[in-house]
Amino acid sequence: MADIIQLLPEYLANQIAAGEVVQRPASVVKELLENAVDAGATQVQLIIKDAGKQLVQVVDNGLGMSPTDARMSLERHATSKIRSTEDLFKIRTLGFRGEALASIAAVSQLELRTKPRQQETGTLLLVEGSSISSQQPVACPDGTSISVKNLFFNVPARRNFLKSNAVEMRHILDEFQHVALANPQIGFSLHQNELEVFNLPAGKLSQRIVALLGNGYKEQLAQVEEVTPFLAVRGYIGKPASAKKSRGDQFFFVNNRFIRSAYLNHAVLAAYEGLLPRDTHPFYVLFLELDPKAIDINVHPTKTEIKFEDEKTVYAIVRSAVKQSLGIHNMAPSLDFEGDVNFAPIQPLRMSPATPSTPNRFDDARRPDALAAAASDAASQVRQSTSKTDKTTDYERPLPPRPTEQAKRDLEDFYKSLGQLSAADLEGEAPVAPKPRTGGSAASPDMANFLAAMPPKAPAQPPVEANPELPLRETANGPGNRVLQVHQQYLLVPVKSGVMLIDQVAARERILFEQYAQALEREGGASQTLLFPRTVTFSPQDFAVLREVTDALHALGFRFTEFGKFTVAVEGIPADVPARDEQALLEGLIEQFRTHAGPVKLDRREQVARALARRVASSAATARLSDLEMNALADRLFACQVPGYTPDGRRTLVLLELNQIQDFFRKP
């Protein structure tokens, strides 16, 4: 049998290696910026053209290279940072494996100009597909300039897989941010298509954060510093009020190297427990310093994933450091004990159902006269206790006891219940059937807005005809055929063969998705114009995503124009979307677009429709509905093309057959 194993040619081996290191233009940006930092530069300039597909150029004023070093830097596994096996366990530089330049040169047309400070002339190298076409002396400033042109020119299949310019530019901005945040002592600038995007002078970390992420963080930063013999944690976190719907502004650096770690992110979220609004994410820039021997950074080709020798200790210290900073800067929730506050009136809400004085729906403690009497008693008790201690000094006066967690929950339930009382409940009358709501209510303004855009119901054409596989609705209007609401989350709908349980949020998401999909097909959704345009400023990454999906958002009914750097002026929003906080709406939409597009690659317009449907549907997760609203929601769901599932495959309804219900009550 003939020998069939042979060594790959050098150019082919380099192209295969490039597949691991150079995935997109942002990979080139990362490697070149890290090399500039390792070279001791104090000024680094990044120049981008056509989102890096045409040109990626990095210019630094670092140490530079001699003619021999310049040529050797293009060989595979040629590095100045490792001499022995022991060096692998004390790595503090960013690039150390010597693969970057060789891999980049294998799939591009590369131009390298470099000059050490002590030499009068520099070196110019021209490389095309791993082949050095020219090397000659040249006059150039101190440092190194590397231009990567026509990336993947010799691998057209890889070039065809690159995304749109907006997507590729977003990844480039990510890598630029990571290096710039990790090195505030170095000045950075970024130019895109001859326009200056960033000009960051050297300074403090807090100044770099504000310059990169916007002035909105100027008043929101809280310093973190925790030093132990094992680990030092330094950096900044954001106040809970600055939490955003998107996850972008979260950065971990280990020994000045950016990493991604869901484990450490969980540690930060655990420290914020109870302080963040629902579905929001805190800002943080945290630097971890520990012995290089305690970590393994050579896990992934991009070096963004590392392994800790003792990750449980790292988790505990990070959580403790963040929690301590929240306490020092008074960001933990506190109660004012100097006011007329008393938790005694809340106790009747937790009375046992067997108590004779407890009515069927609302106990006497929730009626206005009882509330007023309880409040009066509480105030008189506080005044009496205050008069007794007026003669004591502030230092002698005993502190009132801290309320328990149960008391806090009782207080929250009490105030929630006030918003759900009807006039009949307050007057002690028998509850009456709710009237149809046309202008919304305090209980469900989002649902009212949602139903306001509904087409009129056509009784002559029952919605079941659109979906013959669904069970028939009961058409009689008797008391046994009414749609019922369960815990303000589910609808119980009688059908011919049993009962159907509908998830309000999931059903609304399916209805809205099909509505938005039809609007995208028509290239024009209904829009409500705001009385005054509102400006919204985004982070560079979120702004890149927004530009990527602008056409789809306009088709859905959003109206906005660019209004300065990373800022848009919102002039209109879709007609059925509640007009509240436009920034939170767009940030949440961007986050939904990023994280809930589904595991399969989808059309961008469908992703936007899915994201907006989920965002709007979840805004009224527990809405109290009238009979008209419940029937309308059920009818509209049954009229959908795919009524049984949300766009991402979650169930919207469950059918219980009559024989299944009967089985629950039969003897085992």
Question: Could you give the maximum distance between any two Cα atoms of the chain, in Å?
Answer: 106
Cα distances from 535 to residues 194, 431, 556, 563, in angstroms, run 26, 46, 19, 7
d(CA 41, CA 242): 34
pLDDT category of residue 573 using cuts at 50, 70 and 90: confident
Would the pLDDT of 362 be above 60? Answer: no
**Averaged pLDDT, 61-75:** 89
Q: How does pLDDT run across 585-640, given as a tens digit for each residue?
A: 787 777 766 654 444 344 666 777 777 777 777 766 667 788 888 888 888 888 88
Would the pLDDT of 379 be above 70? Answer: no
What CATH code would you report for 10-200? 3.30.565.10
More confident position, 166 or 186: 186
Residue 468: the pLDDT is 43
Residue 298: the pLDDT is 65
Would the pLDDT of 363 be above 50? Answer: no
Would the pLDDT of 461 be above 80? Answer: no
**Who contacts 306 (Cβ-Cβ below 8 Å, separation ≥6)?**
254, 257, 259, 261, 295, 296, 297, 299
Among 130-134, 213-217, 252-256, 433-437, the minimum mean pLDDT is found in: 433-437
Q: How many CB atoms lie within 10 A of CB 278?
A: 6
Would the pLDDT of 489 be above 60? Answer: yes
Among 113-117, 430-434, 588-592, 614-618, the minimum mean pLDDT is found in: 430-434
More confident position, 125 or 627: 125
Among 60-64, 85-89, 257-261, 302-306, the minimum mean pLDDT is found in: 85-89
Among 113-122, 480-489, 575-584, 656-665, the minimum mean pLDDT is found in: 575-584
Alpha helix positions (H), 108-183: 156-160, 165-182
What's the predicted TM-score (pTM) here?
Answer: 0.63
Residue 437: the pLDDT is 41
d(CA 388, CA 405): 28
Q: How does pLDDT run across 260-309, given as a tens digit for each residue?
A: 888 999 999 999 988 887 778 899 999 999 988 888 776 656 667 788 88
Among 125-134, 214-223, 242-251, 516-525, the minimum mean pLDDT is found in: 516-525
- The winner for highest mean pLDDT among 8-22, 434-448, 536-550 is 536-550
Residue 408: the pLDDT is 64
Among 145-154, 317-326, 528-537, 617-626, the minimum mean pLDDT is found in: 617-626
More confident position, 199 or 397: 199
pLDDT category of residue 200 using cuts at 50, 70 and 90: very high
Cα distances from 477 to residues 77, 457, 473, 483, in angstroms, run 80, 16, 11, 10
d(CA 500, CA 495): 7
d(CA 249, CA 591): 12
Tokens of residue 440, six digits: 């919304």
Taking domain 211-328, whether its CATH number is 3.30.230.10 is answered by yes
What average pLDDT is seen over the chain? 75
More confident position, 400 or 641: 641
Would the pLDDT of 364 be above 90? Answer: no
Alpha helix positions (H), 272-367: 311-328
**Averaged pLDDT, 444-468:** 46
Q: What percent of the chain has pLDDT over 90?
A: 22
Considering only CA atoms, which of 511, 469, 476, 503 is closest in space to residue 635?
511
Q: How does pLDDT run across 332-341, given as a tens digit for each residue?
A: 554 444 444 3
What CATH code would you report for 437-668? 3.30.1370.100
Tokens of residue 464, six digits: 């079941």
More confident position, 77 or 348: 77
Residue 346: the pLDDT is 39
Residue 594: the pLDDT is 62
**Averaged pLDDT, 637-650:** 85
Residue 385: the pLDDT is 47
Among 186-195, 260-269, 436-445, 615-624, the minimum mean pLDDT is found in: 436-445
Host H or E run for residue 71: helix 67-72
d(CA 614, CA 233): 37
Q: How does pLDDT run across 404-424, given as a tens digit for each residue?
A: 666 666 666 665 555 544 444
Would the pLDDT of 124 be above 90? Answer: yes
d(CA 239, CA 217): 9
Residue 470: the pLDDT is 57
d(CA 509, CA 513): 6
Considering only CA atoms, which of 409, 387, 412, 385 is closest in space to residue 399?
385
Domain ranges for the chain, please list them: 10-200, 211-328, 344-427, 437-668
Alpha helix positions (H), 242-401: 262-271, 311-328, 368-388
More confident position, 565 or 175: 175
d(CA 39, CA 54): 25
Q: How many CB atoms lie within 10 A of CB 146?
A: 24
More confident position, 425 or 614: 614
pLDDT category of residue 374 using cuts at 50, 70 and 90: very low
What is the end-to-end Cα distance of the chain in Å, rounded? 72
Asked if 45 and 59 touch (Cβ cutoff 8 Å), the reply is yes
DSSP characters over 577-623: S--S-HHHHHHHHHHHHHHSS-SS---HHHHHHHHHHHHHHHTTTT-
